[in-house]
Structure 1
């Protein structure tokens, strides 16, 4: 599900998103998909997690839901081996201010460099072949729960951490990080379950 020209690190992915949206006033969902590669599983999930966590962006009401829908729709089609990704035009046109996106990317630059230093190829069976499809299904479950997380304070941050960790695990071919992401997903699920509003 990944492509040969996928970014090899989180830093490279952030730079790609920054350079591919330079000069724009608004950045749409379609622009983000084009920047990270709409046929690329790892970068797609990684950037959804990064944007969910970024200050001034992830805190905007509706953004976690929007990103969850993007992940759910695209990964669902990738899992079933579609050769082209379709997303509704209404979703594709949804946008955020480029200035806010740039500030969020700036905020992520230092943590990105830190994480890139600690990731390496290990436990490859968890991030290739069938393992990659298992991760895709878990990411879809996280994405499906993101609208609910908007009404539970701080739970969307847990989803962002899980998606970012899964995406980075795929990009860096780091199976150990995938295990950390599974733990983050379990912790977030536990937190959401114990804080449901009903």
Structure 2
């Protein structure tokens, strides 16, 4: 499936509300339906969706879900870094599904954090062009995606990856260079601590 990368969605709350508007008759909800619902797909939106999946206890606690989500992130981030203008996703990913009530519960769970985060997002640090910021976030997201299968084996650490992906997506949607830099710095620090803990265990 090929889709062109697109202009950013206006806010995190707006993205979640679009997903909440998926037809009630669609159950289970496949990934390709979720991507179609946001109409013009953007890398930022995909990262936020990945973050929601991992963070929401209703979905993210299901064994294997973080790893499948990591595959989505790695494939899309890799294509961004390769300079592709279109996203390609394999059919086995596009046909992955979640029960409607679980998706609705996850979106309800993330709505308040999305509204809170929206209050702090602004278009800042204009010297960071959109392409430079996207490439930096894509590189970081690729790294997060690659370690997520390992983090799934360590209790609670997969949530760190979910927070990172959500923050990266928020920065891209708002074109907020400062938020992107802070997210990158915080994520790097946390993952250094996690690796240190693993090596010291």
**TM-score, shorter chain, exceeding 0.5:** yes
2:104 aligned to which of 96, 102, 105: 102
Cα distance in 2, alignment partners of residues 125 and 64 from structure 1: 34
Contact 1:159 1:188 (C-alpha < 8 Å) held by counterparts: no
Q: Which runs of 4+ in 1 moved over 4 A?
A: none
> Which residue matches 1:141?
143
1 CA distance for matches of 2:182 and 2:140? 13
Q: 1:162 to 1:126 in 2, by over 3 A?
A: farther
Q: Tell me the equivalent position of 1:169.
A: 171
- Secondary structure of 1:72's match? helix
1:183 CA displacement: 2.5
CA pair 185-128 structure 1, distance change in 2 beyond 3 A: same
* In 1: Cα distance, 2:65 partner to 2:23 partner: 18
CA-to-aligned-CA distance 1:24-61 (integer Å, 9 cap, x gap):
11122222332335741111111211221112111111
Distance in 2 (alpha carbons) for counterparts of 1:38 and 1:91: 19
* TM-score normalized with structure 2 length: 0.88
Displacement of 1:153 after TM fit? 1.1
Q: Is the 8 A contact 2:47 2:166 kept in 1?
A: yes
Report deviation, 1:167: 0.5
* Equivalent pair of 2:50/2:162 in contact (CA under 8 Å): yes
What TM-score do the two structures reach when normalised by structure 1?
A: 0.89
Q: Which is further off, 74-83 or 54-63? A: 74-83
Question: Residue deviations 1:95-118, cap 9 Å, x none?
Answer: 111111101111111111111112
Asked whether the 8 Å contact 1:165–1:181 carries over to 2, the reply is yes
Per-residue deviation, residues 141-178 of structure 1 (Å, max 9, x unmatched): 11111111100111111111111111000101112211
Partner of 1:3: 6
For residue 85 of structure 1, report the CA deviation from its aligned partner.
2.4
Q: Which residue of 2 aligns with 1:27?
A: 29
1:125 to 1:164, Cα distance in 2 relative to 1, 3 A: farther
Distance 1:164 1:188, change over 3 A: same
RMSD: 2.1
